[in-house]
Each structure stands twice: as C-alpha cells, then as structure tokens.
Structure 1
Amino acid sequence: MTTGFPDYDLLIVGMGPVGAVAANLAGQAGFRTLVIEQDSEPYKLPRAIVFDSEIMRVFASIGLADEIPAVTKPLGGSVYLGADRKPIRTFRAHPRAHPIAWYPSNLFYQPQLETIIRAGLSRYPNVTVMSGHRLTDVAQDESGVTARATDATGATIEIGARYLFACDGASSAVRKALAIPLDDIGFEERWLVIDTNVHGPMRWPDTHEIPPEVRSNAFSLMVCDPERPATLIPGRGTHRRWEYMLLPGERDADVVTPDWLRTQIGCWIDPDHVEIIRTAVYRFRALVAHRWRAGRVMLLGDAAHQTPPFFGQGMCHGIRDAAQLIWKLKLVDSGVADHGLLDSYQVEREPHVRAIVNASVAAGAEVCKLDPAEAVARDAAFRAIECERAGQVAMTDIVPPIRDGIIDMKSGGMRLPEFVVLDSGVERHIDTLLDGRFTLLTLDPFDTPPEWDAIDGHIVDITDADADGRMTGWLGERAARWIIVRPDRYIYATGSGDPAPVMATLFDHLHLRRAAAPDQPTVSMEANRT
C-alpha cells in the first residue's frame, strides 16, 4: 500500500489513443502523471479508422488543432447495399456548421494519429512515459494506489499514485485484477479485417450498383449480402480497408491465406495492385463493465466497454471518457470537490455508451443477416424508410446527449454547438473562448458566487459576438440569455434571468467542499484574445 505521498498524482496504464489523449489532458491539467505501456514501440498497424467532430474538438483542446487535420480525411457518409446488391440505405454526414468548424466524420491512419498524440506529451514535463512495462498487480487504500509492473528482463518496479486510469484495452489487466465482471449485451460475430495500400484503380463489379459517392472514395460501402456481408472503407491516401464476415464453419486460418485474400479483393481491384498491410480476425462484441470506478481506479475505453464497429464509435467512447474524467478528477484532487463527484462518471457515461452500443448491435444484426428471405425483407423495410424520410440521416446522429449526472435535466446535457464568434472582427471557434473551464456564455452582466471561482469558472460576454446568426437563433429557440458550459463542452444548463439558483444546484451536483474568495470579473471578447 502507499505510504506518505505517492510518487504521482495519476498513473495511466496503456498508451493507445485513449491513454495518450488522457495523458495529454492530465499534463495540461497539471497532474504529475506516469504512463506505462507494455509494448516497447508504438503499434505500427492500423486499427481504429474514424472519429467524429466531438473528438476533433478534444484534440483541438489539447493543442493539436493543426497537426491532426493534416493527417485526416473527411468521410462523407456510408451506403448500404442489399441482397440484390443495390442501395437500401444511405447515411450522409451533415455539412460543417461553418468553414472553421470541424468535419463531422474523419478518416485517419492510426499509426499517424498515435504518433502525433504521443509527440504532444513532450510538451509536459509533468508527464513521464515508461514503455516496455507490463502491469502485474494493483492495490489501493484510502491514500492512493500501488501498482507493480515488470519489464522484458523480469525486473519489477513499484509505483505509487493517487489515482489510476485503466486504458489497457479489452483484455484489461487492471479490470481483471479488480475482478470486475462484464455485462454481455448479446452480440458476437467474427469478421476479417484487411488493411491495404492500393496502387491501382478500383474495378467496381458490374453485379453491384455502386453510387458515385462510393466510386469517388468519399463514402464507405456496406454490402449486406447474405452470401457474405462485407465493408469497404476508403482510408486516407492509398489506405483501403476491406472487412468480411466469417461464415459458420469457417476457421480463422482459412480466411487469411493468400489465395482467399486475392479472390475476395480481386472482385474490387487487381490484387497485384494491392499491398496487404495486415489481416486480423476480430470478434465483434458488445460488452460493458459492471463498475467503471473502484475507489481510486477508473476504467476507460475498451477496458470499460466494447462496441461493435458499425457506427465507428469505439475509440470515440474512450476519448469521451478521458475528457470527462480529467476535469472531475482535477476538482477532487485539488480538494474543491469530494470523491462523490467521481461517481458521476459512470452515471453519465454508461447510458451514453449503452445507447450507442445498442444502436450498433441493432445495425450489426441487420448487416449480418445470412438468411436470404430475411435479407430481402430487411431490404424492403429499409427502402420504405428511405422513401419516407424527410431529411438526411448521418451516422453520428446516434450519439445522444447526456441524460443524467452533472446536468440540468430540463435544459442541459447536449454538446455545445460549434458556434463561431467575432473577436475584434476576426471569426473564432467558440471553443477557443472556453479554455477547458466552466464557462458562463452570457448576453447580460452577472455577479457570480465565490463557488464559481472555486471551480475555476469564468464569464464570457457574447453580446454582439455572433458571427453568422446561429448562436442568436439557438438561444432564441430556447428563450435563453445564457449558457453554462462544462469543461468538456457539454452544456450544464441554459436559461434567462439570474443564473445564481442554477449555479447553486450545479455546486451541489459537483459535491463542492469549499469556495474561493475572489470575485470573477466578466471577461470581454477582447480580453479573451490570445
């Protein structure tokens, strides 16, 4: 057990995208952080392939707004083909809210993304990375966590930290050490994932009705063919991903032979023009841990929940976990809030995750139909829905608001829209004014209570700041004059009149222990310029 003061404020186990983002957020928040990763080198092969605009906002918040867009590509949508290999369903990404807003869906090559996120850690002298160390044991008491890790030589080190984030994936050693069971939601299918670089033109099969958006590599393609469901994802640059569902009776080893791969890919492109980067058989599962917090240990990402990939939200889940936990942990670790605030982590995140998992399971059940009659009935139902639909539907529409936890149930829970504001005539993304803090965006001047200063809240006057009318219209629809925004860019509440009563409820939700003395002046747009 820990004695005296632990060496670190935060120990992060695992440095995939979720752990690396969590480490950047921790470094930014001032935590003395140690990251341990069992692999000596970054994983050089692609896995995750898409993230949404909410995650890009997280990347921007950790200072990577220029680097990451340079290695991504917008995904315009996805087309589903039915048993007759003609379109049955189309998802179209919503247009960007403004030219300086982020694209709603973004394709990426994971080794490039991870390299950028990891490189960002060099900015923080308070963050230490220890690669080539495997966690072997974890214990905790009222003062902190003690972990043991072993390197490739068998040497063991002991680490003391006040808190631990388990970002160590689906087979999480931390989760297993704490004996936290998983809830199996009831989906399991085997799919072969083939990542390639292509060096020649596609030869779209005449048997398939391929829309121009797919041919131009702007959209992904889901072939819901009962003979063998398959997916084609047009990655960035020459990267292309094929995914094939394994049929009953097929062995994993049967589908990774050169002949099998050439036959399948050869339907779409000359296989001599394809460089295979990797092949892997995945078991798409839907699993959620019973507990996401055990004392001072929190589970994040796949350690806490595993999502079938049909809406591309797996990595996004974990990064949302990190973005929410860091600001809560900062309030607790600083003594401003008590540990009860950390209980809101699962209260907020689990329903959010389960809603997306359930939507992914439902989508997967339709995609994976192997009975021809059931597939034909599905196709008819999907086409009827498409004909009756009034507007377009995007894959990101499945992402719900927060419906419980640190929100005002009547007016909060949604993500702050990507408004654009004018600052001395210059258009700026609204997030640049938030600064990762509690923010009162207001059209009217208000005095705030000392508790607002205790949570590092600030005030931004948005009078005459609307660059394109969207913020004014949004507030008008809600008869609101102000917005209270959380550090993770979710809205706590909106309203008109004095926000003090709503703030008092916020402070109760945050389990505050004390308040700070100094008053917080209203900040003008000009004062916010950096």
Structure 2
Amino acid sequence: MTEYKSNYDVTIVGLGPIGAVLANFLGSYGVGVIVIEKESASHQLPRAVAFDDEVMRIFQNIGVSKEVNDIVAVGENAHFVKPDGEILVTWDRPKKISSNGWFLNYRFHQPDLENLLRQRLNTYTNVSIQLESTVVNLEQDENSVEVEVKDATLAKNIIFKSQYVVGCDGAKSFVRSKIGGNYIDLGFHEPWLVVDLLIKKPESNKVKDSFHYCDPERSSTQVYLGEKRKRWEFRLNPGDDPHKIVEPKNVWSLLSRWIGPSEAELERAVVYTFHASIASQWRKKRLLIAGDAAHLTPPFMGQGMCAGVRDACNLSWKLNEIINKNVGDTLLNSYQTEREVHVRKFIELTIDMGKLINRTRTDLLLGPAKNSIKGPQRISNLLPVLGNGIGKREKDWEGRIFPQAQLESGLLMDDTIGLRWALFSKIRLSQNNIKRIEQDFKRLDVRILSDFPEEIYDWMRKKSCVAVLVRPDRYVYGTAKTKKEIVLLVSDAMKEIYG
C-alpha cells in the first residue's frame, strides 16, 4: 500500500548530529522540513567525543549553546608521546576564550547532544520528524524530487515531493548512491579498537589533556571525556583477531598500563576502521550530501563531526536564499567548492597525526617533531580558508571565519545579528550612500553595525580596512577601505547571490 502526502521544501535523510543541526538551521529560517530517520531513537552509545570553538559558535547560532554548555567538559592540550615518555608534539588548546567567543575544545557524550538537538527541533512547527522510516527511492525532475519512504510502523510506503533532498545518512549513504561518483581515497585505512570507560570515582579523573602514544609496537590514544568517562583507542596489529580483541579480558590487558576494573566499568569495546576519503560529487541537481556521506576523517583531531556541522551551516543559508528569496540554485554550486577544500585541510593534517602516532613519520606541520632545548614542537588549531565560492578570495582573511566578541551587555555578537548578513563599518554611511544600495541591503537582509567591541576595531586595523561584509555563516565575504568600496562590496554580493 502506498500513501501520498503533502510536499516539503527540504527532506533531510538521517537524524544524527549533522541532520539535526541542518534541520535546526532550516527550522530557524522558516523552511518546511521533513527528517527521515531509520531508527526509533537516538543511538545511545558514544561515537564522536569532541568539537571545537567554531562548532560551539554554530550551536549558539541555532539557539542551543546554553543547553550544550551544561553537558560538556572543556578539553585541554593534546600530547604526542614516545614510548620513553618524551613529548614529540604538543597541540596547544589553552583554557581561554577564543576569537569565536568560546573555548577551543569541548568533550561530550554524543547521545546527550543528539537529544538536545532533537528537543530543539520539537519547537518548530515547520519541521516534521519521521522515525523508523527508510528512503527507498528518489526520482527528480526540474522542479522537485519525488521521495518514497518505507514506514516500518505503518507497514506501508509513503510518497511525497520535496524541492531538495540532503543526505546526512552516513558513510553508506543512500542519497550519495543516487548522486553517483565515488570516494577519493586519501590513503588512510586502519582498524582500531575503541574502548569507552565509565569512571567509578569521577573525582579521580582530573587530567583533561589527551595523550597519543606514538609506539610502533602498538599505537594508542587516551582521551578525557569529562569526569565520568574516558576513551582509549588502540591500533590493531596484523595478527590481531578483531573478534577476540574486544573480549573484556583482552581489553583490560591492553588497558592495564593505565587503569583497571577496580577503577572503571567497561561501557563498550568495538573495532572501527578509520578511513580518510572524500566523495567526488556532493550534489546532483536537487540531491545533496553532508557529513560522513561526503567525507570521512580519522578521529585523531576530533574533527569528523565538526566538518559535518560546518557543512550544515554552509548549506543552510544557501538553501534559505533559494527557497525563501527565490535565488537561483546555481548558488549551490559553491557548496562543494567551498567545503571540500576546507575539510581536506583537516583530513590531511589528521592523516599526518595518524602517521606520527604510528611513528611512520617524525615531523608534523613545521619542522622536526622532537625535543630540543626549546622543548617539543607546538602546534595550534587549524584555521583554513574556504575554497572558491561566494565572496572574494583576494586577501588572506577573505573566506575565513570572522571573530566574535562579547558586547558590554554580556551578549555575544552573533546573538544581536541573527542568521543574516552583517556589515561592520567604522565609518557611518551617508543617506546618499545608503539610498544607492538600499534595495540591496533589504534584499540581502544585511544588519549594519557601526558600534562594536574593540576586538573588531582591532581586527579591522590589522587588515587596514574600514568595513567588512560577513556572510550568514560568519565567514568574511570581503572588506572595504572607503565608502565607495563599501557600496561596491554590497553590490558585488548582490550580483553574486541574485545574478
């Protein structure tokens, strides 16, 4: 039996963290959304365990940062350590507020995060969620996609139409199979044992740094997940049986160097194969993919989920422009070109970290990764530029995330802007200037700010500019040095978005 239902603006396939973030963004924009999820409830075991300051800023922009802040722990530095205890590399993540307005690193329990994101979705009347359902067919024409869904609870298929379909359905993505293309292999595929522990005495779990043990005999990683949890990861050696290594006695044998059953309870032990790859095609007309459906990242930087959340942020404002403002969907051509270059930088550095952990290389980023009189090599968070797309890329800061400062009121800057474009200008535009581009400001929905914190003035001084136009995803579109250039900057954005 087949039932025909009403239509939607966007269908999201998959309600993991990436699908939930995208649905929250689109819900905020007033876009009509249906989310199709094959499971009956969120997955109750941890997978992703860390995210960074930019992702926390994204959570802020969908209105859940306060709730998320209640379920996370602030992470600190990561050290790459030789078997003799010598530190090769320290990844500095000091416990201070970053230019994004948040701490550099957070540790979390993924089921808690997913539950929060789903609770937020329940506040939107324009977002529907259909659980225990599987997309079984997608047929698109020039105007829409016909979506066929098998509903396990009703034991029947449902068909409806949607303007766009976004696959947030993981590495084995059905939506990607309909788009076509293949995975670009970036040369890292390794089986690792992942062990999650519940700490019996949380007060004893005080070290918040992470440790990567660079041992050619058995590479391993130890990660702080808050007072109640810790994770260890062990690279499988060629002779290891993946079925036997997960047995409790073998797991505790591997852990015995650090911790024993009297101190912790084994929550789970599972073998994952860590991959590094990127899909060659992220879009085919009205079908798109995001997150693990588009790229796979080994876990050593904690950037797998982060990359997918950035995908959702990038894609959401473009879908809003198309659906709510009747912009042509050529705007979506910039989605993969911007995001693929950005995520590739993270994946390549993660691969280098994996090689360092395995001792198949001895340097990382800049110079030799070894102790000297000055100590170990130190690295900091990676801040890559977007690939070519919407906005200028003439200067180094264009296409990079714009800083967020705290206002005198205590509010963070993004909270006063909303999900829209923003023009920060040190000089006040005359009525004549504004009149010339008044329609551009209205159609783009630009918030003009001429009074802002000192950190933003300082950013402009260093860039020798008087104004900066920032996209809804908080990336810099371009900068201007004069009133005339400000007018041209907004006009250029209009032409690029609306044609």
Pick from 388, 391, 405: which aligns with 1:407?
A: 391
Question: Would the aligned equivalents of 1:438 and 1:485 in 2 still touch at CA under 8 Å?
Answer: yes
Question: Which residue matches 1:287?
Answer: 277
CA–CA distance in structure 1, aligned partners of residues 269 and 334 of structure 2: 39
Q: Decide whether aligned partners of structure 1 residues 489 and 100 sit closer, same or farther in structure 2, where only a CA change above 3 A counts.
A: closer
Question: Would the aligned equivalents of 1:72 and 1:108 in 2 still touch at CA under 8 Å?
Answer: yes
Post-superposition Cα deviations, 1:94-124, rounded to whole Å, max 9, x if no partner, equal 4534799311110000011111111001110
CA–CA distance in structure 2, aligned partners of residues 503 and 172 of structure 1: 38
Question: Which residue matches 1:387?
Answer: 374
- Summarize the alignment of residues 46-445 of structure 1 with structure 2, pairs less than 5 Å apart: 46-97=46-97, 101-152=101-152, 154-200=155-201, 216-369=206-359, 381-384=368-371, 387=374, 393-394=379-380, 397-411=381-395, 412-422=398-408, 426-445=409-428
Post-superposition Cα deviations, 1:408-432, rounded to whole Å, max 9, x if no partner, equal 212411111122233xxx2331112
Question: Would the aligned equivalents of 1:262 and 1:271 in 2 still touch at CA under 8 Å?
Answer: yes
Number of residue-to-residue matches in the alignment: 484
CA–CA distance in structure 2, aligned partners of residues 402 and 387 of structure 1: 34
CA–CA distance in structure 2, aligned partners of residues 252 and 202 of structure 1: 33
Unaligned runs of 5+ in 1: 204-214, 514-530
Letter in 2 for 1:165: V
1:192 Cα deviation (Å)?
0.7
Question: Would the aligned equivalents of 1:402 and 1:413 in 2 still touch at CA under 8 Å?
Answer: yes
1:156 Cα deviation (Å)?
1.4
1:472 Cα deviation (Å)?
2.1
Letter in 2 for 1:503: V
1:385 Cα deviation (Å)?
7.5
CA–CA distance in structure 2, aligned partners of residues 382 and 104 of structure 1: 23
CA–CA distance in structure 2, aligned partners of residues 233 and 367 of structure 1: 14
Post-superposition Cα deviations, 1:145-178, rounded to whole Å, max 9, x if no partner, equal 1121213364211131111110001111111233
CA–CA distance in structure 2, aligned partners of residues 405 and 286 of structure 1: 24
Question: Which residue matches 1:522?
Answer: none
Question: Which residue matches 1:207?
Answer: none
1:500 Cα deviation (Å)?
1.1
CA–CA distance in structure 1, aligned partners of residues 73 and 254 of structure 2: 26
Q: Decide whether aligned partners of structure 1 residues 73 and 376 sit closer, same or farther in structure 2, where only a CA change above 3 A counts.
A: closer
Unaligned runs of 5+ in 2: none
Question: Would the aligned equivalents of 1:226 and 1:375 in 2 still touch at CA under 8 Å?
Answer: no
1:46 Cα deviation (Å)?
0.3
SS class of match (1:71): coil
SS class of match (1:9): strand
CA–CA distance in structure 1, aligned partners of residues 238 and 351 of structure 2: 19
Q: Decide whether aligned partners of structure 1 residues 186 and 89 sit closer, same or farther in structure 2, where only a CA change above 3 A counts.
A: same
Q: Decide whether aligned partners of structure 1 residues 403 and 181 sit closer, same or farther in structure 2, where only a CA change above 3 A counts.
A: closer
Question: Which residue matches 2:455?
Answer: 470
1:434 Cα deviation (Å)?
1.9
RMSD between aligned alpha carbons? 2.5
Letter in 2 for 1:49: V
Letter in 1 for 2:450: D
- Percent sequence identity over aligned pairs: 31
1:437 Cα deviation (Å)?
0.4
CA–CA distance in structure 2, aligned partners of residues 427 and 332 of structure 1: 34
1:6 Cα deviation (Å)?
6.1
Pick from 471, 474, 498: which aligns with 1:486?
A: 471
Letter in 1 for 2:136: T
Q: Decide whether aligned partners of structure 1 residues 478 and 99 sit closer, same or farther in structure 2, where only a CA change above 3 A counts.
A: closer
Letter in 1 for 2:133: H
Question: Would the aligned equivalents of 1:56 and 1:102 in 2 still touch at CA under 8 Å?
Answer: yes
Letter in 2 for 1:501: L
Question: Which residue matches 1:528?
Answer: none
CA–CA distance in structure 2, aligned partners of residues 11 and 309 of structure 1: 29
CA–CA distance in structure 2, aligned partners of residues 187 and 319 of structure 1: 22
Question: Would the aligned equivalents of 1:255 and 1:261 in 2 still touch at CA under 8 Å?
Answer: yes
TM-score normalised to the size of structure 1?
A: 0.86
CA–CA distance in structure 1, aligned partners of residues 5 and 241 of structure 2: 53
Post-superposition Cα deviations, 1:63-84, rounded to whole Å, max 9, x if no partner, equal 1121000100111110111132
